[in-house]
Amino acid sequence: MSSDDLRQRIEAIETGYEFMLAYAAQGRQTDQGGGSGSKLREHLNGMAAALDGLGSAATAAAAAIDGDLPIAGHAFFAAVDTDARVALSALRLVQARADISSQLIDNLNASIHLRALLTDLFVVDEALRPAKAQA
């Protein structure tokens, strides 16, 4: 796994979350009927694909930068994996519904599990950025 793979996963998760924030504000009873409702499932599918194996992808990206990073951050990378698995499970629960309301998405957005994952990704994203050259 490369840092490009991790970057694409983070982008899919962040983009999906931003879309869900907008969807939650619409007051919809269902995602059926086109418009942003049909796009919701596309974003959820993209997020699910990005979440599946995210912990391993983050650890592999860290190892590609510096073999000591996964060791130094072992507990944190384990937390990323756990948070990703729980967030994916919550996401799949929502996806299994025939109708997805704005309220359900609002509750998913507020889930501490999804918020923990997003915070984890902010840390991972910054910690795994290449060092800037000194001027």
pLDDT per position as a tens digit, 82-105: 999 999 999 999 999 999 999 999
Instruction: Identify the helix (H) or strand (E) that includes residue 76.
Output: helix 74-95
Pick among 3.30.1760, 3.30.1360, 1.20.120, 2.40.360: CATH of 3-127: 1.20.120
> The whole model's pTM is what?
0.88
Rg (CA), the chain: 16
Average pLDDT over residues 57-73: 93
**Nearest-angstrom CA–CA distance, 55 and 114:** 14
Q: Answer yes or no: are the C-beta atoms of 17 and 114 closer than 8 Å.
A: yes
The overall average pLDDT reported for the chain is: 90
Q: Answer yes or no: are the C-beta atoms of 62 and 68 closer than 8 Å.
A: no
Cα 14 from chain centre: 6
pLDDT band at 60 (very low <50, low <70, confident <90, very high): very high
Average pLDDT over residues 111-135: 83
pLDDT per position as a tens digit, 34-57: 666 779 989 999 999 999 999 999
For residue 2, what are the CA distances in angstroms to 77, 103, 120? 16, 36, 18
